Structure 1
Amino acid sequence: MQGLEGVAVVNIVSNVEEVDGGASKKLKTMITHNDGAEWGLITPPKKDTDNKDIDCSGDLEKCSLHLHGYTERNDPRDTYSSPSAVGLMMAVGNVGPSLGPYKEGNTFITRDGGVEWHEVFKGTYMWEYGDQGSIIVIVQEGVPVDTVYYTTNEGQKWIAYQFSETKVLVDHISTVPSDTSRNFILWGKDGGSSGGLVTVNLDFSGLTDRQCKLDENVPDASDSDYDLWEPKHPLSDSNCLFGHIAQYHRKKPEADCYNGPVIDRLHAISQNCSCSRQDFECDYNYERQNDGSCALVPGTQPIDPLEYCAANPDLDEYYAPTGYRRIPLTTCSGGKEFDKISEPYPCPNHEKQFEKKHGISGAGLFFAIVIPIMAAAGVGYYVYKNYDGQFGRIQLGDTGMMGNGNGAFDSEQVWIKYPVAALSAVVAVLAAVPMVIGGLFRMASQRFGGGSGGGYSRPYTSRSSFSRGRGDYSHVDADEGELLGDESDEEV
């Protein structure tokens, strides 16, 4: 679409295998809103020009809008759109499972860059834009006519104008290449018996003599004749397109004025957006799947990411191939960056720059060490200033650590009681773990042949059992009784 970045329309052959067998081609029209990264069928209008339901049901595969290419027009230079009429597009086509014959088509228009379409007239018409899109003139083709139709509100209402007393078979309608004039010329042949060449000048400058008012500093002023229009992707909830929100000047449909000199349609890029799926396309050797994902083409290999480093000497890092790459036009940042799912790796000979970019800085290391120490010192100082010397005392009654049972360091306070209990439980578990492991080890050693001798030791099952091991005992001298303590024989 001229004047609007990233929007394009193509026709594809939907029955390739059947065509290889000799069948006729079935064409389907696809549209993209992000420079070819994603293609989809066109949602058809619900009503026709008579405000009746269009006879078509099913999903988009069975019921979508299909458009004839501009090369099928008498003059292929007559395109769908104009660079001075941002967001407007006209075409001949039909609603159904595939594109039908040209002569059986109807004429359609879109005002929002191809998102929504409306049927203009039954039959095929040729069209031309004037005054930067504020005037559109159409005339039926293929049959002698004496009337044209024009609109000054983007096709919401069409007005008939009789330009001749006799019918003319119009071959072409033209204006200046910039589509900024309010003058048009019809080229054709006399519809009568003579069949002579005919040219008719259509001058719409008498419709209004007031030039539209535009203030770039206050574009949304209440008395402005222009709106700020923001194109969008039909699959996006926001007006982000190519990673940013662009605002264009468009004449209000109800404004009774003319554009005059060429205006700069793009007002501003209001903001950049977070990245989404619409900001990425399939990478080299990957192809789009039915679910919208990108998969490696069988028999191919991903491009070696080191080639990016070689092709871009200033690049410090690269990412492993993911099957996606950024659309060149996008300006998005952050969000879901499909081309950076893996961890970054340094490019050869750029390890120092990579480490400087991703490693911890000296200041970060300083604060990582100093802040915990300062925090611990602060807590210690607070405890020192508020400690009343009652930690570890046996307390009677309800007297607290601050003397009244309600001190900040009272053992019954929630911030003292439960952390101490939790810490005690952790210490007890840590202390018990080695004992449990040791006990289990000794049990296993005794049962499965462990112990100092490496063999099984019989248990003491009787008094005589001790005699078997008497060699392991020694006598105690009488003078060594103090080993048992001086009061060992006293009654307790």
Structure 2
Amino acid sequence: SIRSRISFDAGGNWLPLRPPGKDSSGGNISCQPGLCALHLHDATFQDKFVPFYSYDKAVGIIMGVGNVGPQLSFEPQDANTYLSRDGGYLWQEVKKGVHIYEFGNHGAVLVMADILAATDEIIYSLDEGNSWKTVHLSSKMNVTNILIEPRAISTKFLAYGTVGGAGVVQFLDFDAMGWLPCKKPEEPGGQSDYEVWSPEFGGLCLLGTKRTYVRRKPLSECFNRREVKLPMISVPCPCTRDDFECNVGFQVALDSRNCVKSSMPLVGSVGPAEETEAAECRFRDTYSVEMYRRIPGNGCVGGFVPPRYEAKCPQGSNEAAGAGAGWSLTRLVLLVLAVAVLVYVARSERFQDCWETLASRARNVDFKPVGTTELPGIPRYRAPSIARF
């Protein structure tokens, strides 16, 4: 059996997808208590299902095909189409059956169509899935895919497929609605067409950072300017246990979220455990190792300080270090004794008398110049002459 899980901290923790409480018709969704979750298809069976999909230009919006239950079903009649507008935290069923979908204009336009049966309907939403409308085609077609330009900022789409074995392309242009460009992205809220949104996955901090995005209000009847750059503000949060994972050599305890020693070798503070032991175990019987490490990409500061693990040094690892330390201590003692002897001798009266005698003899020495006598066979040095012209 296959079950879907989602992580909001780069894989630190994995949670089931929350199922919607109502279906697209407004009825209650029945599900076995304790086993009720939403499960989505990936790209494995694209001939029957559509993989979940998101785009960086459509902030927070995800669409997928799957089912609510204890596990993922591979029967097309069990599959429906779902949407989340908060990064996968909450989901809603938007249409019964399997549909192909595409986003446009920074998520302001959502387009989908039935992919398993011939249809003459293209379904679209201009309010991020709160309501859906239908465009009727002149004839039914088997829709293969819906495309938009690579950056997904346009309002023009292509729906292509087949009719009776022949290829067909339908062009959809939402600019024809005549909506004006959205106003005041730099002043979200109030009279602006934009709102401020932050991911709230059990808290306001995601990977140690509170990110605030500006995006179009769902009910604003306007389109984003195609080249608009909507701001994003990032502020670091205080660290918590959720911002850390177990380091190499440790694992999460079964009965808690604390890290405990595993069977894997440790990684020390200066590299592999052997190098750390050689550096740390010279004068001690234990050395300290980090049990936790910050999740990659996490930007938290301060706050939680993870505990460290005191590892025992291998037996006899500090004996050689002790012998080396003893020899070093012996050399130090000998050096101190030598200096003490020199100081004692220098300050003794006998040494001072000898030193004064040598100094007086040096003062009475009669130094005479050697003179300029030329040695036989060696010419005397003469300064070079200067030629005058």
TM value normalised by structure 1: 0.56
What is the alpha-carbon distance in structure 2 between the residues aligned to residue 240 and residue 166 of structure 1? 50
**One-letter amino acid matched to 1:240:** C
Give SS of 1:149's match. strand
What is the alpha-carbon distance in structure 2 between the residues aligned to residue 280 and residue 290 of structure 1? 17
Aligned to 1:419: none
Give the alignment partner of residue 107 of structure 1, picking from 72, 76, 81: 81
Give SS of 1:206's match. helix
| 2:175 matches 1:205 | yes
What is the alpha-carbon distance in structure 2 between the residues aligned to residue 336 and residue 121 of structure 1? 44
Aligned to 2:318: none
What is the alpha-carbon distance in structure 1 between the residues aligned to residue 181 and residue 171 of structure 2? 22
Give the alignment partner of residue 337 of structure 1, picking from 300, 305, 318: 305
Aligned to 1:355: none
Give the alignment partner of residue 289 of structure 2, picking from 313, 317, 321: 321
What is the alpha-carbon distance in structure 1 between the residues aligned to residue 68 and residue 74 of structure 2? 12
Q: 1:214 touches 1:226 (CA, 8 Å); kept in 2?
A: yes
| 2:68 matches 1:95 | yes
What is the alpha-carbon distance in structure 2 between the residues aligned to residue 89 and residue 291 of structure 1? 34
Give the alignment partner of residue 191 of structure 2, picking from 216, 219, 223: 223
Aligned to 1:84: 57
Q: 1:70 touches 1:78 (CA, 8 Å); kept in 2?
A: yes
Q: 1:208 touches 1:258 (CA, 8 Å); kept in 2?
A: no
Give the alignment partner of residue 120 of structure 1, picking from 75, 86, 94: 94
Larger radius of gyration: 1
Aligned to 1:282: 246
Aligned to 1:264: 229
Q: 1:282 touches 1:325 (CA, 8 Å); kept in 2?
A: yes
1:227-266 to 2 correspondences below 5 Å: 227-234=195-202, 236=203, 239-266=204-231
Q: Which has the higher strand share?
A: 2
What is the alpha-carbon distance in structure 1 between the residues aligned to residue 30 and residue 96 of structure 2? 14
What is the alpha-carbon distance in structure 1 between the residues aligned to residue 24 and residue 298 of structure 2? 37
What is the alpha-carbon distance in structure 1 between the residues aligned to residue 50 and residue 261 of structure 2? 37
Give 1:170 deviation, angstroms: 0.5
Q: 1:49 touches 1:119 (CA, 8 Å); kept in 2?
A: yes
**One-letter amino acid matched to 1:64:** A
Aligned to 1:64: 37
Q: 2:146 touches 2:158 (CA, 8 Å); kept in 1?
A: yes
What is the alpha-carbon distance in structure 1 between the residues aligned to residue 96 and residue 261 of structure 2? 44
Aligned to 1:293: 257
Aligned to 2:165: 195
Higher relative contact order (CA 8 A, sep 6+): 2
**Ranges in structure 1 where 5+ consecutive residues have no aligned partner:** 1-25, 312-318, 344-492
| 2:6 matches 1:31 | yes
**One-letter amino acid matched to 1:293:** R
TM value normalised by structure 2: 0.71
Aligned to 2:18: 43
Aligned to 1:176: 149
Q: 1:130 touches 1:175 (CA, 8 Å); kept in 2?
A: yes
Change (3 A) 1:131 1:293: same
**One-letter amino acid matched to 2:127:** N
Give SS of 1:27's match. coil
Q: 1:75 touches 1:172 (CA, 8 Å); kept in 2?
A: no
What is the alpha-carbon distance in structure 2 between the residues aligned to residue 322 and residue 254 of structure 1? 50
**Ranges in structure 2 where 5+ consecutive residues have no aligned partner:** 277-286, 311-389
Question: Paired residues, what number?
Answer: 298
Q: CA RMSD in A?
A: 2.6
1:392-431 to 2 correspondences below 5 Å: none
